[in-house]
Amino acid sequence: MAPQTLHPARRAALKLSFEFFPPKNEEMESQLLSTAETLKVYAPEFVSVTYGAGGSTKSRSIDTVRKLIAERGLTNTAAHLTCVGASCAEVDAVIEEFLAAGVTRFVALRGDAPGGAGVAYQPHPEGYANAAALVAALAKRGVRSISVSAYPEKHPESADVAADIDMLKRKVDNGATQALTQFFFDNDDFERYLNRVRAAGIDIPVIPGILPINNLTQVMKFAGLCGARVPQVLIDRLQPLDDLPEERFREATLIAAEQIVDLAHRGLSDFHLYTMNRAPLISAVCDLVQFQRMDAASPAA
C-alpha cells in the first residue's frame, strides 16, 4: 500500500526539518552523526538539537550543535534553548556560546519543570519568566529565526487552548518567526487548532510535528506525559505487529506517510520530523512520501 498520491508540483514544494537530541555517550554520538549524514540527502530547511530543562544537557547540546555545523556541514542547525531553572545571566551566556558556534537559528522554549510531569512550573527568581521573554532576549540580540512551540491538543499545564494561543501570540509579538507543534496523530485536531490560531491574528508558519512510531509502547507513554493522543485506530494497526518487526516497520512508515500526505492535501508544505536520532524509519517515510532527494538514489516519481 501507499498513501494517496501528491501532484508533482505539490510534492516539489514540500520542505522538511529534523529534530535530534544530544547523545549521552560516544556510541550514541556516532549514531546521531551517522543519522544526520543520512538525512542530509533530503536537504532539510534546518535541523534542531534539543536542550534539557535547566540546562541539564547544556554541554552536550552545544557540542552536538558544533559538530553538526563543523563536521556535517549542517550550517542551518538550530539550537533549542530553555529558561527554566536558570538566571537571565546564565541563559544569556549560553546564547553567546551558541552564537559563537555559528548558530543563527534558535528554538525558544520555556522548558519543563525540573521535577517532571505534575510539578508546577516556577520561574527562576532571576530568570526569564517564560518563553515569550526568552524570545524577546533572542530578538534583542538580532536573531532573525526564532521557532517556538505550539500545541494542537493543548499544553498539559494550560487551562485551555485559548490560553495556549494567547501565549503563542505573546511569543510572536516578541519576535517569534515560526512555530513547531508538539507531535500529534489526528490531522483534524491540527486543522482545528490552526484555524483558531489564524482567527487570533497569528500569521507565522505553524509547522506540524510528525513522530513516526518506532515503538508504540514508548510513544503512548510519552504521549500521556505531554498531553497528546494516540488514536485507537493507530493502536489497532500497530499492536498486532509487536512481534513482527518488518511488518511493524512497514505499517509505521505508512501511517506517518499517510499523515504527511493528508496534511499536504490540506495545504501544508513544511514538516518537522522527530527523528529519535534514528534514520531508517525517517528515511522510509520521506521516500514513501517522495520528498525530493539530492542523490541519484531518489525514488522515481
Q: Which residues form the catalytic set?
A: 19
**CA distances (Å), origin 300, targets 143, 181, 283, 287:** 39, 31, 15, 10
Contact 106, 79 (CB under 8 A): yes
Cell of 202: 497569528
Contact 57, 22 (CB under 8 A): yes
Contact 96, 143 (CB under 8 A): no
Largest interatomic CA distance in the chain? 57
Contact 263, 189 (CB under 8 A): no
Burial class of 24 by CB neighbour count within 10 A (0 to 12, 13 to 18, 19+): exposed
- Candidates 199, 63, 68, 204; CA nearest to 145 is 204
What residue ranges in the chain does DSSP mark as E strands? Answer: 15-20, 46-49, 77-82, 105-109, 145-150, 178-183, 206-210, 270-274
